[in-house]
Amino acid sequence: MFTIKILGREKNLTWSSGHYVPDNIKCRRLHGHDYALDVEIQCNEISENGMVIDFTVIKNLVKPLIDSMDHKFIIPKNDIKYERENNYYVYVNDQLKLVINSNEAFVFEYNVGSAEYIAIFIYNKLKNELIKYLNNFKLYITVYEGYGNTATFTE
């Protein structure tokens, strides 16, 4: 079994985003974090060129995902009640939470913009791309929310 790993802080797989977690007393306030992403792949197979997969391929697949969130506010799509004049009107528990320009928002497909769901989001997108390159592999995605706080997802 081979294990390859990309350490996000060392390889510039980092971004900054704002978010809120509605059902948490402290985190329901609008706030942000500096994030980093580690990618780990375990695979029994190695290609003829002597690699499981080129690290650059992984970075090129991940970078657009994190760039799409960089310096944006993560808004769960179900919290957007309507859009008017390029602004999203965001409601939480039937109360207006914020109005934000659509260019400053990352519309998130999950109900909470937590590190755990960001890990799932990246995992699903990356896995769908990696199956074009790899067979029979295990993927681990670790999202750092600041320093020392991580959420890892795998199947």
CATH of the domain at 29: 3.30.479.10
Full-model pTM: 0.94
In a domain, 35, yes or no: yes
Residue 6's beta-bridge partner residues? 39
Mean pLDDT in consecutive groups of 10 residues from the start of the chain, 155 residues? 97 97 85 98 92 97 98 97 96 93 97 97 98 95 97 98
* Residue 115 half-sphere exposure toward CB, CA atoms < 13 A: 22
Domain total of the chain: 1
Asked whether residue 17 is domain-assigned, the answer is: yes
What pLDDT is recorded for position 3?
A: 97
- On whether residue 7 sits in a domain, the answer given is yes
Q: Please indicate, yes or no, if residue 97 is contained in any of the structural domains.
A: no
Q: Tell me how far apart the alpha carbons of residues 91 and 88 are, in angstroms, rounded to a whole number.
A: 10
Distance from C-alpha of 155 to C-alpha of 153, rounded to nearest angstrom: 7
- Binding-site residues sit at 19, 31, 33
| The 87-92 sheet, strands edge to edge | 80-84, 87-92, 95-101
Does residue 134 sit within a domain? yes
Give the annotated binding-site residues for Zn(2+): 19, 31, 33
In a domain, 124, yes or no: yes
Q: Identify the domain containing residue 31 by its residue range.
A: 2-70+112-153
Residue 91 lies in a domain: no
What is the signed CA dihedral for 103, 105, 106, 109, rounded to 10 degrees?
-120
Asked whether residue 103 is domain-assigned, the answer is: no
